[in-house]
Structure 1
Amino acid sequence: MFSTKSDCPVPFDQQPLNEYLALKESFLFSWSMSTNKSFIVNLFYIFISLFVVFSIFLIVCTNTNNLSQFFLLDLIFSNVVIFFLFIRLYLGWSYVVKRLMSATVFYEESGWYDGQVWIKTSDYLIQDRLIGIYQVKPSIVRIKYSCLSIILNLIVIYLFFLCFE
């Protein structure tokens, strides 16, 4: 359900509401907008998949005899990849929420050299800000807390790794 309003001079793909809807329907970003239960289950599936992939990689590339070091190294790699995934989610959603909350929209008509600025009407501004506040910002907060928990998890894993050396 994309927005097509005729009084908006911004090209269809560059309208903040349409950018939000496109991001919301994409595979990676829709996962971050799901319910808490679905979010945690999908995060668990991603973590297990990464853990298996890195286990295979570490078996092939290293000759670690210590099982605890192998396990902790696998956990570190998996958590780092998930951390970068959350950074990507944060950057995408923060760009969209910035454009939704702004009273002006910078857009390009045909290329990088002919940018224009459109001042949103009150209808557009109210609609975009409501979507930004009630739809996007809670996901950004969840992503921030997830990043923080992954950082703490990495610190704990690294400390365990140092103990088993």
Structure 2
Amino acid sequence: MCIPKKICPVPYDQQPINEYASLKQSCFFAWSTFNIFRYIMNIWIIFCVLFFMCLPFTFSLVSVKQSLLETFLFNIILVTGFLLFIFIRLYLGWSYIVKRLVSASIFYEESGWYDGQIWIKTVDILTKDRLIGMYEVMPLISRIQYSFICTTICFALEISLYYLL
């Protein structure tokens, strides 16, 4: 997927299409590209793993006076908070990629922070990048946003329930 140096002076790892490919292959970001059933299963697995990992920490935080139900609810609140941070990180990663794919100009660094350049994409590359951005990355961002909203609603309900107990 590398664009020849004659056409694009941007280094290989800073080209938006290659940044997209590396993000899509990374372990953390790849599971957000799966089909909806596998995506929800991964969220559920992450939730369960975090639940059992945070359980000792939760038992050490809560007082002896609290019931077992309150302790488990506090643990669920803690895990849901971690999930919110995971969705924020997913959103930030994918939104950075879509911004670079859709943009007509690309900022890149040749060898360090002090020598940044701007490259204007050709029409063919811009068209290809925008198609990938709009039809492959934007649905992922919408899915992550929806997941974040649902998790935020659950988080608010959990906190409300915890204070009602």
TM interval, shorter chain, is over 0.9
Report % sequence identity: 46
For each residue in 1:94-130, what CA deviation from the matched residue of structure 2 results, as whole angstroms up to 9, or x when unmatched? 0000000000000011111111110000111011001
In structure 2, distance between residues paired with 1:5 and 1:26: 25
Structure 2 match to 1:31:
31
SS at match of 1:112: coil
SS at match of 1:10: coil
Instruction: Give the letter aligned to residue 22 of structure 1.
Output: S
Q: What TM-score do the two structures reach when normalised by structure 1?
A: 0.95
Structure 2 match to 1:16:
16
1:66-77 aligned at under 5 Å gives the runs 66-77=67-78
In structure 2, distance between residues paired with 1:3 and 1:91: 24
Query: Would you identify which runs of 4 or more consecutive aligned residues in structure 1 move more than 4 Å?
Result: none
Q: Report deviation, 1:142.
A: 0.4
Q: Which runs of 5+ in 1 are unaligned?
A: none
Q: Report deviation, 1:41.
A: 0.5
1:68-107 aligned at under 5 Å gives the runs 68-107=69-108
Q: What TM-score do the two structures reach when normalised by structure 2?
A: 0.95
In structure 2, distance between residues paired with 1:10 and 1:117: 9
In structure 2, distance between residues paired with 1:9 and 1:16: 13
For each residue in 1:128-153, what CA deviation from the matched residue of structure 2 results, as whole angstroms up to 9, or x when unmatched? 00100011000000000111011100
Structure 2 match to 1:152:
153
In structure 2, distance between residues paired with 1:58 and 1:102: 45
Structure 2 match to 1:58:
58
Instruction: Give the letter aligned to residue 17 of structure 1.
Output: I
In structure 1, distance between residues paired with 2:128 and 2:82: 35
Structure 2 match to 1:3:
2
Structure 1 match to 2:117:
116
Instruction: Give the letter aligned to residue 3 of structure 1.
Output: C
**Matched residue pairs, number?**
163
In structure 2, distance between residues paired with 1:36 and 1:145: 12
Structure 1 match to 2:40:
40
SS at match of 1:43: helix
In structure 2, distance between residues paired with 1:38 and 1:89: 16
Instruction: Give the letter aligned to residue 8 of structure 1.
Output: C
For each residue in 1:18-66, what CA deviation from the matched residue of structure 2 results, as whole angstroms up to 9, or x when unmatched? 0000000000100111110110011100000011111122223434441
